């Protein structure tokens, strides 16, 4: 059945925030249902320890540290006002980034200077999926040789983006570059990801469902305490790059998708764009007992696309401490997915993100909306 | 007798003030009021630093802002007067303000000079309007808005005399543009007393509304909603050039080519971005938007000589490019390319961005 049509005919999220859902709640002849979810927060999945054990070399060096180190003595004294560190908004911010030999911006021309190797994650534990299917990270037709992490559950997993960024001060869990964009998305509604699970016979156990990913044009409604409300309606973004789909199944209320190439809307740190994830997997515990859905999404992030984002947040590098040339060189070395057929060099970085989502109505504006006002996801779940 | 003489004198003075504009000036009546252009249709501007009866824009300034020179036989009439420039030439002035064109305006309808350095303003005689109504420049033209910048909309067929105004379910996603309780009609604007007790502004007898889908000034997200809601455009901008249209993106509608591929402009390429995108970078990532022979400029859209010397489309004087990594409609890979710590590089052209000055 056409997913768009079905979603408006039913548009009934079978999952409730306020009530649990058992398979017996749905009769064998019940029509297939659609579960709508809005992603209310997501963060890159990083295994950060309080004392940085995974970063034995310390925090990654900042661009301005490398800049000041290479200045002649006289200039260094002048630039640091006799040794004191300048405020972030001083000359340090504007000058440190154009430290190429001809004044080039080193984020947009990362190969014009040669920095010392970057301090990356050396720990063995990480979150993610076993994307290449190996336990040792050997090269396969779909991957390049790389090191694996072991998840806290003991599974070998891939997450080279965490290995790359896990020791950058501003990219640690709860640091600015993680928390701020998430808050921006929650406040503005930009970059909101909608997940629509269709062909659902049984919201607790179903061996064949379809999962589609959209962007939204609506903001996330909040209550008077600032908490995002469940069961709100979200119209999908008409950008044709979205709407990618994956097959999946639900086991004991946990959705797991097969691998699929998807694109997800992205907003944060003044960046508007999208995240293309190849070989994406989603493992999501669906909402139950009043708790939102939560889980892990992973896949291969196209390197060029990721670097494009990273270049465009250059204006944040002084306060968050990284060096573009260091990150660029290290990222190229750490690429582990999708070898270029000509060069053999990999073109993508494995990654994973933790996500949290609430039940929602996913509205397709090109179809008439026939959802009755009292057909809230919570009410339907209670039926 | 005396009072009648005074009345007659006032009437004569008023008639003189409203004298027809000179032959060097064309008047266009728009929703904003009377807009003045030169005989070729180029927008006229005033300069806030000019003193009455004297132009302070000379030498290099006058090259950028050519004065509107009067013909040899020109004579002042009403609000239209003549000022003598330092070189002896006579320049038209309206209500004491000398008039200029802007050399970078590429075509009739262009308004690129409006708001420059906050001292150059379009020459127009604003029609009376309520204090709480703002005019904002967008890609579609001058749009009416609340003082907070929320775009105003009208609904097809609805009049202030309609027996039933938009209410209840019709108002989902909409809010009447509220007028103060003691508001009086002024010019084309009137006040509607709604059944729900709200005083609502109406423009030319059409009640006006704001949309909940608009979040920042310049948004026109609800334009065309249900085929009957339309943004209140007081002066439409010239149409997009042939081959360009609006397409969907993560920013909402943006300007794309006929195939739906995103177009980009970069403010001040040479001054700002040379250290960010050198020649190789330019050739690798950017493809000029070529202008074919016979292409005509339209409004703020013009044809300029590209970096390769070939004719290239430009928007508001900035060359247009396509990004080589955009492969599908809706992709905006080039947006903010070469943004640095002090600038934001290449930009998509959003339908909802504010253009120029709001007043």
pLDDT digits over A110-138, tens only? 999 999 999 999 999 999 999 999 999 99
**Is A109 close to B342, i.e. CB distance below 8 A?**
no
**Is B341 close to A240, i.e. CB distance below 8 A?**
no
The single residue listed with the structure tokens 């970057």 is A118
Assigned token pair, A242: 């979205």
Q: Read off φ and ψ for residue B330, nearest 5 degrees.
A: 95, -15
- Distances in whole angstroms, Cα of residue B181 to Cα of each of A373, B158, B192, B200, B207: 34, 22, 10, 9, 16
Q: Which of A78-82, A165-169, B107-111, B279-283 is predicted most confidently?
A: A165-169
Residue B244 has pLDDT above 90, yes or no: yes
Residue B271 has pLDDT above 60, yes or no: no
Predicted confidence at residue B252, as pLDDT, reads 86
Q: Residue A226's closest CA among A199, A191, A187?
A: A187
**Under the phi-then-psi rule, with left for phi > 0, alpha for psi from -120 to 50, and beta for the rest, what region is A231?**
left
CA dihedral A45, A50, A56, A57 (to 10 degrees): 90
Q: By the 8 A CB rule, do A62 and A168 touch?
A: no
Q: Sign of dihedral through CA atoms A15, A18, A20, A24?
A: negative
Angstrom distance (rounded) from CA A110 to CA A133:
33
ipTM: 0.75
Q: By the 8 A CB rule, do B250 and A265 touch?
A: yes
pLDDT digits (tens, 9 = 90+) for B168-189: 999 989 999 999 988 999 999 9
Q: Tell me what the mean pLDDT of segment B295-299 comes to.
A: 82
Residue A52 has pLDDT above 90, yes or no: yes
3-state secondary structure of A331: helix
- Residues of A with a Cβ under 8 Å from any B Cβ are 93-94, 97-98, 100, 102-105, 107-109, 188, 190-191, 215, 217, 219, 237-241, 265, 267, 270-274, 304-305, 308, 311-312, 314-315
Predicted confidence at residue B1, as pLDDT, reads 43
Angstrom distance (rounded) from CA B163 to CA B160:
8
Residue B291 exposed, middle or buried by CB count within 10 Å (0-12, 13-18, 19+): buried
CA dihedral B194, B199, B201, B205 (to 10 degrees): 40
**Is B340 close to A107, i.e. CB distance below 8 A?**
yes
User: Could you count the other beta carbons within 10 Å of the beta carbon of residue B304?
Assistant: 16
Predicted confidence at residue A81, as pLDDT, reads 65
Q: By the 8 A CB rule, do A209 and A7 touch?
A: no
Of B221, B276, B335, the CB nearest to A272: B335
**Is A100 close to B275, i.e. CB distance below 8 A?**
yes
Predicted confidence at residue B180, as pLDDT, reads 92
Chain B residue nearest residue A214, CA to CA: B250
Chain A residue nearest residue B337, CA to CA: A312
User: Could you count the other beta carbons within 10 Å of the beta carbon of residue A324?
Assistant: 22
Predicted confidence at residue B322, as pLDDT, reads 95
pLDDT above 90: percentage of residues in chain A: 66
Q: By the 8 A CB rule, do B203 and B188 touch?
A: yes
Strand-pair partners of B359? none
Angstrom distance (rounded) from CA B138 to CA A262:
34
Contacts of B333 in chain A (CB under 8 A): 273, 305, 308
Instruction: Work out the mean pLDDT of chain B and round it to a whole number.
Output: 86
Chain B residue nearest residue A267, CA to CA: B250
Of B331, B332, B340, the CB nearest to A314: B340
Q: Residue B130's closest CA among B81, B71, B202, B74?
A: B202
3-state secondary structure of B312: strand
pLDDT digits (tens, 9 = 90+) for B299-321: 889 898 887 888 999 998 888 99
Q: Tell me what the mean pLDDT of segment A351-373 comes to.
A: 77
pTM: 0.81
Q: Tell me what the mean pLDDT of segment A6-19 comes to.
A: 38
Angstrom distance (rounded) from CA A368 to CA B17:
57
Q: Tell me what the mean pLDDT of segment B282-294 comes to.
A: 85
Residue A351 exposed, middle or buried by CB count within 10 Å (0-12, 13-18, 19+): buried
Predicted confidence at residue B269, as pLDDT, reads 57
3-state secondary structure of A76: helix
3-state secondary structure of A368: coil
Predicted confidence at residue A16, as pLDDT, reads 39
Chain B residue nearest residue A216, CA to CA: B250
Contact residues for A205 (Cβ-Cβ < 8 A; gap 6+): A23, A250, A251, A252
- Distances in whole angstroms, Cα of residue B198 to Cα of each of A192, A308, A325, B192, B201: 35, 50, 60, 8, 10
3-state secondary structure of B24: coil
**Is A97 close to B341, i.e. CB distance below 8 A?**
yes
Strand ranges, E, within B95-179: 97-98, 120-122, 124-126, 133-138, 141-146, 152-155, 174-176
* Domain residue extents for chain B: 2-126, 133-236, 244-348
How many residues does the structure list for chain B? 359
Query: Rg (Cα) of chain A, in Å, rounded?
Result: 23
Angstrom distance (rounded) from CA B209 to CA A189:
23
Q: By the 8 A CB rule, do A196 and A34 touch?
A: yes
Predicted confidence at residue B357, as pLDDT, reads 82
Crossing angle of the two packed helices A324-334 and A303-312, in degrees rounded to 10? 170
Q: Is the CB of B169 inside 8 Å of chain A's CB atoms?
A: no
Residue B177 exposed, middle or buried by CB count within 10 Å (0-12, 13-18, 19+): buried
- Distances in whole angstroms, Cα of residue B38 to Cα of each of B85, B102, B321, B341: 18, 11, 32, 41
pLDDT digits (tens, 9 = 90+) for B65-118: 999 999 888 899 888 999 999 999 999 999 999 999 999 898 888 888 998 888
Contact residues for B63 (Cβ-Cβ < 8 A; gap 6+): B103
Contact residues for B233 (Cβ-Cβ < 8 A; gap 6+): B31, B140, B141, B142, B143
Of A94, A105, A272, the CB nearest to B276: A105
> What is the distance, to the nearest Å, from the Cα of residue A301 to the centroid of all Cα atoms in its chain?
10
Of A102, A241, A315, the CB nearest to B330: A241
Q: By the 8 A CB rule, do B305 and B311 touch?
A: yes
Confidence of residue A329 (pLDDT cuts 50, 70, 90): very high
């Amino acid at each position: 059945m056409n997913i768009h049509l079905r979603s408006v005919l039913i548009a009934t999220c079978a999952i409730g925030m306020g009530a649990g859902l058992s398979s017996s709640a749905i009769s064998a002849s019940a029509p297939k249902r659609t579960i709508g979810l809005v992603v209310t927060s997501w963060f890159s999945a990083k295994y950060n320890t309080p004392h940085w054990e995974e970063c034995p070399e310390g925090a990654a060096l900042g661009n301005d540290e490398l800049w000041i180190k290479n200045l002649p003595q006289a200039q260094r004294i002048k630039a640091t006002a006799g040794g004191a560190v300048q405020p972030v908004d001083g000359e340090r911010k504007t000058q440190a980034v154009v430290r190429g030999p001809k004044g080039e911006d080193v984020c947009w021309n990362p190969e014009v200077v040669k920095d010392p190797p970057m301090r990356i994650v050396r720990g063995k534990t990480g979150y993610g999926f076993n994307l290449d299917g190996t336990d040792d990270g050997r090269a396969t037709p779909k991957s390049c040789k790389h090191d694996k992490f072991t998840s806290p559950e003991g599974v070998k997993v891939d997450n080279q983006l965490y290995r790359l960024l896990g020791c950058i001060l501003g990219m640690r869990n709860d640091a600015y570059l993680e928390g701020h964009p998430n808050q921006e998305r929650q406040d503005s509604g930009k970059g909101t990801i909608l997940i629509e699970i269709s062909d659902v016979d049984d919201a607790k156990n179903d061996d064949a469902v379809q999962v589609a990913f959209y962007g939204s044009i609506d903001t996330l409604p909040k209550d008077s305490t600032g908490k995002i409300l469940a069961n709100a309606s979200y119209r999908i973004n008409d950008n044709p790059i979205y709407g990618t789909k994956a097959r999946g199944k639900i086991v004991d209320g946990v959705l797991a998708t097969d691998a699929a190439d998807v694109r997800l809307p992205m907003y944060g740190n003044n960046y508007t764009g999208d995240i293309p994830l190849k070989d994406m997997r989603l493992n999501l515990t669906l909402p139950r007992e009043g708790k939102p859905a939560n889980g892990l999404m992973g896949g291969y992030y196209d390197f060029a696309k990721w670097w494009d984002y990273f270049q465009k947040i250059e204006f944040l590098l002084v306060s968050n401490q990284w060096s573009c040339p260091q990150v660029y060189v290290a990222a190229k070395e750490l690429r582990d997915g999708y070898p270029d057929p000509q060069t053999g060099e990999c073109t993508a970085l494995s990654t994973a993100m933790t996500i949290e989502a609430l039940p929602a109505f996913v509205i397709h504006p090109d179809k008439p909306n026939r959802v009755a006002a009292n057909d809230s996801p919570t009410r339907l779940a209670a039926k | 007798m005396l009072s009648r003489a005074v009345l007659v004198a006032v009437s004569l003075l008023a008639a003189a003030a409203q004298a027809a504009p000179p032959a060097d000036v064309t008047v266009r009546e728009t929703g904003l009021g009377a807009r003045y252009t030169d005989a070729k249709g180029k927008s006229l501007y005033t300069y806030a630093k000019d003193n009455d009866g004297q132009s302070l824009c000379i030498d290099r300034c006058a090259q950028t802002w050519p004065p509107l020179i009067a013909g040899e036989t020109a004579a002042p009439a009403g609000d239209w007067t003549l000022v003598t420039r330092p070189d002896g030439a006579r320049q038209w002035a309206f209500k004491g303000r000398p008039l200029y064109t802007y050399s970078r305006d590429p075509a009739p309808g262009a308004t690129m000079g409006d708001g420059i350095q906050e001292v150059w303003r379009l020459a127009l005689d604003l029609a009376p309007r309520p204090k709480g109504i703002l005019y904002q420049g967008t890609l579609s033209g001058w749009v009416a808005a609340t003082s907070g910048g929320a775009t105003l909309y009208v609904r097809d067929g609805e009049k202030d005399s309609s027996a039933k105004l938009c209410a209840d379910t019709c108002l989902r996603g909409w809010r009447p543009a509220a007028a103060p309780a003691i508001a009086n009609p002024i010019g084309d604007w009137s006040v509607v007393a709604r059944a729900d007790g709200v005083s609502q502004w109406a423009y030319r007898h059409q009640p006006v509304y704001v949309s909940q889908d608009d979040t920042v000034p310049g948004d026109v997200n609800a334009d065309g909603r249900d085929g009957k809601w339309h943004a209140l455009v007081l002066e439409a901008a010239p149409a997009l050039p042939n081959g360009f249209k609006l397409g969907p993106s993560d920013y909402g509608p943006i300007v794309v080519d006929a195939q739906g591929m995103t177009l980009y402009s970069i403010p001040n390429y040479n001054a700002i971005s040379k250290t960010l995108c050198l020649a190789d970078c330019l050739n690798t990532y950017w493809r000029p938007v070529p202008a074919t022979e016979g292409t005509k400029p339209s409004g703020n859209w013009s044809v300029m000589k590209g970096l390769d010397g070939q004719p290239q489309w430009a928007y508001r004087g900035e060359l247009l490019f396509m990004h080589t990594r955009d492969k599908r409609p809706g992709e905006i890979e080039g947006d903010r390319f070469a943004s640095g710590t002090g600038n934001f590089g290449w930009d998509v052209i959003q339908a909802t961005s504010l253009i120029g000055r709001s007043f």
